[in-house]
Amino acid sequence: METEGSIAYDEVVELALYDPNHGFYATSGQAGRRGDFITSPEVGPLFGELVASYLDQEWDRCGNPDEFVFVDAGAGPGTLARTIAAANPRCADVLRYVAVEISDAQRESHPPFVESASQLPTGPFDGVIFANELLDNLTFTPVRRHDGELRTVRVGCEDDELMEVVGDRLAAEDVSHFKPGIVGGVVQQAAANWLEHARTSLTQGSVVVIDYARDRSEDVEVRTYLGHERGTSPLVQLGSNDITVDVDLAQLQSRVGPATELTTQKAFLEELGIEDLVEEGRAHWKENAAVGDLGALKARSRVREAEALLDPEGLGGFTVATWR
């Protein structure tokens, strides 16, 4: 196996995930890893309504500060911003909405009322840093056991073919994430760095991470999606695959400390009162179905949105990790 002239696997992953001219979604439609490719804010306005309630709860818990920052990390085209604004949270007058998005093309779609940025703002500030389906997009390093030692997997090129090659020995603190004897795994340095930055930016408030997650490093695997189907090797059809990993909570927590709360999206949204909103929608639809006006259609849509957001096999099964 040859290592010279190789490029790091995580650079390849970054190239595949992110096209600077067309943005993240340019490679294969909207990013995702379940094959349905719809994120919770994109399901409809209900998710934003509930996040707006969470924001108010946090604003109250922090003692109603004069400025409250909501950082929408990995904001995509700004759909969550639009739905939170439409929900008109009580803290709206003191809310500074920062939409952080790495893709220029996505930032161009941000609504004018947000502060659009390409990087996390530096604190300290009071507020909520919210990352829905961001952390699984951040670069990671696959590792594999070779001659008894865990080593990084890198990518080399021979006869115009990309291939995996053996990289460096893993640093001791990274080895500690894995059980002895494990064959391979993934080091999520960028996600841990992101979380550490986020946590240290807040004086009061919370960091909320919503993603597909695992709590054992050895269960995390690299997956690819191509044209809404599971793909094969990340080195095949470079630039066309969505390449992703589950977020490894064990690694994140070993860096920044245990999450204050770990729950599912279903439980998180139920706690925020999704059932009441759905009931309200159902009742409104029943009374106004015959009229069929916009209000009635919106009410009916709420019922459908809730089903998607709470589905334990889909978005409802996501992990919500909160550090306060």
Under the criterion CB under 6 A, does residue 106 sit at the interface with ligand SAM? yes
Residue span 143-182 as binding mask against ligand SAM, x where in contact by CB under 6 A, dash where not:
----------------------------------------
Read off the amino acid at residue 133.
E
Query: Cβ atoms within 10 A of the Cβ of 159, count?
Result: 5
Under the criterion CB under 6 A, does residue 209 sit at the interface with ligand SAM? no
Residue span 222-261 as binding mask against ligand SAM, x where in contact by CB under 6 A, dash where not:
----------------------------------------
Under the criterion CB under 6 A, does residue 102 sit at the interface with ligand SAM? yes
Among the listed residues 6, 9, 13, 24, the single contact to ligand SAM using CB under 6 A: 24
Q: How far apart are CA 117 and CA 242, in angstroms?
A: 24
Minimum CB distance to ligand SAM smaller for 40 or for 251: 40
Bond preceding residue 124 cis, omega within 30 of 0: yes
Under the criterion CB under 6 A, does residue 305 sit at the interface with ligand SAM? no
Q: How far apart are CA 234 and CA 240, in angstroms?
A: 9
Under the criterion CB under 6 A, does residue 45 sit at the interface with ligand SAM? no
Q: How deeply is 178 buried, as exposed, middle or buried, from its count of CB atoms within 10 A (0-12, 13-18, 19+)?
A: buried
What are the residues whose beta carbons fall under 8 Å from the beta carbon of 260, sequence distance 6 or more? 206, 322, 323, 324
Under the criterion CB under 6 A, does residue 76 sit at the interface with ligand SAM? yes
Nearest approach in angstroms of CB 43 to ligand SAM is 9
Helix ranges restricted to H, the chain: 9-17, 40-43, 45-61, 79-87, 104-108, 172-175, 189-201, 249-256, 265-271, 274-288, 294-310
Nearest approach in angstroms of CB 271 to ligand SAM is 19
Q: Which stretch binds ligand SAM (CB under 6 A): 52-60, 71-79, 83-91, 143-151?
A: 71-79
Read off the amino acid at residue 226.
L
Residue span 123-142 as binding mask against ligand SAM, x where in contact by CB under 6 A, dash where not:
---------xxx--xx----
